[in-house]
Amino acid sequence: MRDEDVTKPGQPPTIVDVAAEAGVSRATASRALGRYGRTSAATVARVEQAAEVLGYRPNELARAMRVGVTKTIGLVIIADFTNAFFDRATKAIVDEAKKNGYQLLITNADEDSTIERQAIETLLEKQVDGLIVVPSLSANYKHLTPAKLGGKPIVLIDRRLDYPPLTAITTDDFSGTRAAVRHAISLGHKRLGFLITASSVKGMTEQRPSELISTVQDRTEGFLQGATDAGIRPANQHWIFCEDKPVLSEAAVASLLDRPNPPTIIFTSNNDMALAVLKVAGHRRLTIGRDLSVITVDDSQWAAAIVPGITVVARPVEEIGRLAVTKLLAEIDEPGQPTELVVLPTELITRDSVANLYLKDYRDN
């Protein structure tokens, strides 16, 4: 026996101590605790009991180096933890991973492609078994190619990429936002405001940026198609693309409301922008669902709980997280799975934040 295998007073027990307690060899104890190789169920049980009695804790890093698996997908790179969607998605991913015996290493890229690349490099250095990534807007995604990832599997959530071709779990935001506009128009709204978050914009602009992340692009196209379907003239479509910062989004809302013929409804591309609408409306003593209407993308507890409740284009957030883990583990277990784009349906949940202007006109008369 080597000197380093002997447990000294005050030191935690070693695998050698477990083997001695169970009456097996060190190699057998390692196989039993690592659940690899051929070891009888009775031996595994005896070794595990010995480990519990001694209070032995395995060296997970050493085991990972030996068997080539760390049981971590810790690598979930979330664009913005403060966003309700990513908060819920993260929890769903953590829960599903834990259910399958995996732990997560989580980092926040904050919509910055440079930080994203650095984060992925760090996670790969930590020998994670796979990656779940929300890609930031970038002109270059070479850091997500198989060569740069060292063959580690990857699944994208919320957003898709044209290149490199990667498995992505997304939602049908185009149909959802088009349905939202149609719903508003059916209630008499003809002056429409659109407040769109755009990571490529500094400040705010009425001009549509040339580069948008895929989900924002889909939402923009859906809003536009809904307005076009109903024959809403461009003069009655008020668009603002805005950097996702409270002070700027609130200024953008104020800009929409201060126009000569302001929109009767504002559609927002996410919850943060919807909160900006509510805040500005509150300061101006405007009642949501009466003086000003609003529809946003993504449901949340607060959107359902406040009065009036906020009409939303709801996405199956928990299903996105669970499915991402399922797809990633399939690739970890059996490399070579075909890449696929999974598009989950959205649902328009109508509440009282959209005024029925036909009834309002009737009451006013």
CATH number for the domain harbouring residue 14:
1.10.260.40
Q: Give percent above pLDDT 90 in the chain.
A: 68
CA atoms within 13 Å, Cβ hemisphere of 229:
17
Residues β-bridged to residue 196: 241
Domain boundaries, position 17 = 3-67
Task: Tell me the pLDDT tens digit for each residue of 43-64.
Answer: 999 999 999 898 887 765 555 5
Q: Count of CB atoms within 10 A of residue 74's CB?
A: 21
Q: What does the alpha-carbon distance between residue 259 and residue 38 come to, in Å, rounded to a whole number?
A: 75
- Interval 330-358 mean pLDDT: 95
Do 211 and 139 lie in one domain? The reply is no
Q: Closest by alpha carbon to 169, among 319, 17, 336?
A: 319
Compute and round to an integer the Cα radius of gyration of the chain. 27
Burial 276-306 (b: 16+ CB within 10 A, else e): bbbebbeeeeeebbeebbbbbbbbbeebeee
pLDDT at 173: 98
73 in Cβ contact with 305 (< 8 Å): no
What is the number of structural domains in the chain?
3
pLDDT at 8: 52
Q: Report whether pLDDT(244) > 90.
A: no
Do 53 and 201 lie in one domain? The reply is no
Angle between helices 214-229 and 173-186 (to 10 degrees): 30
Q: Report whether pLDDT(7) > 60.
A: no
Q: What are phi and psi of 238, to 5 degrees?
A: -110, 110
Do 197 and 290 lie in one domain? The reply is yes
Window from 80-84, 155-159, 183-187 with minimum mean pLDDT: 80-84
